[in-house]
A and B are shown apart, each in its own frame.
Chain A
Amino acid sequence: MNLTLHVWRQKGPQDKGKLVTYPAPNVDSDMSFLEMLDEINDELIRKGEDPIAFDHDCREGICGMCSQVVNGRPHGHQERTTVCQLHMRQFNDGDEIFVEPWRAKAFPIQKDLIVDRSSMDVIMQAGGYVSCHTGGVPDGNTFPIPKKVADYAMDAAECIGCGACIAACPNSSAMLFTSAKVAQLAALPQGKPEARKRVQAMTKALLDEGFGNCTNHYECEAACPKGISVKFIAKLNREYLKSMIPSSTAEPV
């Protein structure tokens, strides 16, 4: 099939970017979207032009590195799919495709489709962990965890940290991303001792890093390649409320 691409090109963080049009002739429907871009880049290199820079690594939908908004939707229109797993058979001959980077103030563009997502790491550093030491922990079966709870935690833990939720959010909020970690750890007995502190610290980091506030649009869930549910945001809200109830035994927040 033959396609027309409009790709965001931007030289550096300080430069102004614009959409540049590239024809994509003879696209094989078995190609992945990134392989299609590889071919365009190959052509650009042969012509002596600067190839399109884009983040990618595992190309199997798990590392979370790829980050492109395709026709207005993070990772493209196929549900629960990262752009590296999006295949060209999802498009039709003659389609016009707009390819843009994640857009949010907290994600400054570095070049073309590459953005800086270190703000998400900062949220994790604020409390996305259980403060256990290496070694000196009890046997893994000491505390039975009901299957339902383990499954719930796993549902949340599937987040790949790609940032599609933020790219899709009308407020550029990182609430789904944050809530997935908060909910995972709050559900498990290991995470409970620090639950109050964690939810407060992580949501504070979210705002400090320049993300917006959640106003329940739920675009995040629709864009998430792993189908992380907004019920985890509800869980985060509940955890936050709990953290505000004074307690003499809980850790101060």
Chain B
Amino acid sequence: MNLFTSTVGRKILMAVTGLLLIGFITVHLLGNLSIFWGADAINAYAKHLHDLGLLVWVFRLVMLCLFAIHITFGVQLYLENRAANSEDYAIQKTLVTTFSAKTMVFTGLIILAFLLYHLLHFTVQVTNPAISATNLPLVDGHLDVFSMVVLSFQKVFIAVIYIVALIALFLHLSHGLQSWVQTLGWSTGPSQDKVTAVGKILAIVYGLAYIAIPLFILARIVK
């Protein structure tokens, strides 16, 4: 089908899957921010998710598909574009493009690597079994997600991994959060400048909010 092979079709797929993934990280962020309301808040949130049962698996499957499409085509487009270029100019100059636009595939792959680590760390809980929720004492009969998170981010090594990955996420979003408007054909020229500005501000908001979690714990502001 054209959607999966054509240049615009795949671009649209990138935008749509990207948008849905932004939806995911939005919900994920809102949930995680409950950590600032204390252990009870985040533990309740975790329990709530856990209780969804089968729905969790449906959700995970959808996420897997979205990631698969977004990553597969992202890498494919990158390889095609690289093949379309011939040798470099002696003087390479760009005027309007951004660092984030030029590094989408790399920030994307960093995010992928991080995602795998993140799943192993908090979902499968094999990287630091000693402080995993399954091995921590239950609180009111529920898993103590709060302690797992806090104990993790108190380790500089883990916190740094998260912060670096979240910077990559910020860069990725600062292109992605506005680029989709153009890709879906909603830009009318001058309007894209405003969209771009809003997109960048949003990317900063996402970036700061996410980084706040490991940073505040590392700084012992959240304990």
Residues of A within 8 A of B (CB): 6, 8, 19, 69, 71-73, 98, 100, 103-107, 168, 170-173, 175, 199-200, 203-204, 206-207, 210-219, 221-223, 229-231, 233-241, 244, 253
Contacts and interface: CB of A to CB of B under 8 A. Distances in A.
Pick the most buried of A72, A98, A173, A234: most chain B CB atoms within 10 A of its CB: A234
A72 B188 CA distance: 29
B142 interface: no
Interface residues of B, number: 41
Interface of B: 2-3, 6-12, 77, 80-81, 83-97, 101-102, 104, 175, 179, 182-189, 192
A207, A214, A215, most chain B CB atoms within 10 A: A215
A237 B85 contact: no
B85 A103 contact: yes
Given A171-B84, A212-B85, 15 more contacts: A19-B90, A72-B90, A103-B86, A104-B84, A106-B84, A168-B95, A170-B81, A203-B8, A212-B83, A215-B81, A219-B94, A234-B188, A238-B185, A240-B185, A241-B184
Contacts of B85: 103-105, 170-172, 212
Given A212-B85, A218-B97, A240-B8, A234 B91 contact: no
Contacts of A230: 182, 187, 189, 192
A105 B80 CA distance: 11
A116 to B, nearest CB: 12
Which of A170, A172, A216 has the largest number of chain B CB atoms within 10 A?
A: A216
Nearest to B181: A234
Contacts of A238: 184-186
Contact of B95 (A214, A222, A235, A239): A222
Contacts of A107: 86
A213 B105 CA distance: 14
Nearest to B94: A219
A173 B84 contact: yes
A219 B97 contact: yes
Given A170-B102, A216-B179, A241-B184, A200 B2 contact: yes
A170 B184 CA distance: 21
A217 B89 contact: no
A229 B81 contact: no
A200 B6 contact: yes
Interface-centre pick from B10, B11, B192 (highest chain A CB count, 10 A): B11
Given A105-B83, A105-B84, A204-B6, A241 B12 contact: yes
A218 B96 contact: yes
A253 B10 CA distance: 17
Contacts of B93: 71-73
Contacts of B182: 216, 230, 233-234, 237
B94 A170 contact: yes
Contacts of A218: 96-97
B84 A212 contact: yes
